[in-house]
Amino acid sequence: KYKDEEKAIEMESGNSGNDDTADMDKFSRVQQKDDMQDTRPISLYFMDEHDARALADEMKQMKHMKDSDLRVTCSSLGKAVRSASNLGRGLPTGQGIDDKTGKLLTMDDGGSLRHKVVPSKRELFYAARCAGRERVGCFGDSPNEDADLLLQPQDVIEANKMQARRASKKNTARRIQKARQLEKEGLMESPTDRLRREYAHMEGQVG
C-alpha cells in the first residue's frame, strides 16, 4: 500500500541507484547545488490582478529596478497553462542560437525560461480555512495559522515554505511509518493524517 510513496522518497533522495533518472531531475547547475534554493528566473502568470500589481509595486521599490520599464500585461488562461505545463527547462526565450555550435544558450544564461501560474492569494486565504486545505499546500498546525501566513508579504511566505520543503522528506517518511503502524494495530489513521500523507508533495508549495 505504501510502496509507491516509499519509492518516490527514495528517488528524490538519490538512493534509487538510477543515475539517468537522477540526472533528469536536476535541470540546471544551480539546482544541483541546492534543490531547495532555486534562483532560476521564471515568468509568472497571476490569476489575480491585485497580486500582480502588488508584486510590480514591490519590485519598483528596489534600487536596481527603480528605472526599469516594468509592466503588467494580460494573457489568456489557456496560454498561461500551456506555457506553465513545460516543466524542467521551460520554453526558449528567443535568444539567438550559437553560430559555432548551433545550440541554444543554457537556462542559466537565459536561453530558456520557466513559466508558473500563480493562484490568487485571496482564494488561498479562504482555502486555508477549508477541510482538505492540505491539497493547496496548507500544512500548518491550524487553519488560522495558514490563513495568517498568507496575509504576510511574499518574501515571508516563501521563507516559511522553503523551511517546510526542507523538512518535507522527513515528515513524509514519518507519516508513512505511522500509517503502517496503525494498520498493523488494526486502527484507522485520522482524515487529516491521511490527507497529509497523500498530498505530501504539496508540503512547502503554494496552490
**pLDDT at residue 88, rounded to an integer:** 79
Q: Cα 106 from chain centroid?
A: 22
Adjacent-strand bridge partners of 116: 44
Any idea which residue has 484507522 for its cell?
A: 188
In this predicted model, what pLDDT tens digit does every residue of 111-165 receive, in sequence order?
888 888 888 888 888 888 888 888 888 888 888 888 888 888 877 888 888 888 8
In the predicted structure, residue 8 carries a pLDDT above the cut 80: no
Angle separating helix axes 154-184 and 3-12, nearest 10 degrees: 140
5 pLDDT more than 70: no
User: Could you give the dihedral angle defined by the CA atoms of residues 150, 151, 156 and 158, in that order, rounded to the nearest 10 degrees?
Assistant: 20
pLDDT by residue (tens digit) across 16-59?
455 444 444 444 444 444 444 556 678 889 998 888 888 888 88
Identify the pLDDT of residue 4: 54
Closest by CA to 72, choosing from 59, 63, 61, 84, is: 59
How far apart are alpha carbons 97 and 110 in whole angstroms?
A: 12
* pLDDT at residue 61 is higher than 70: yes
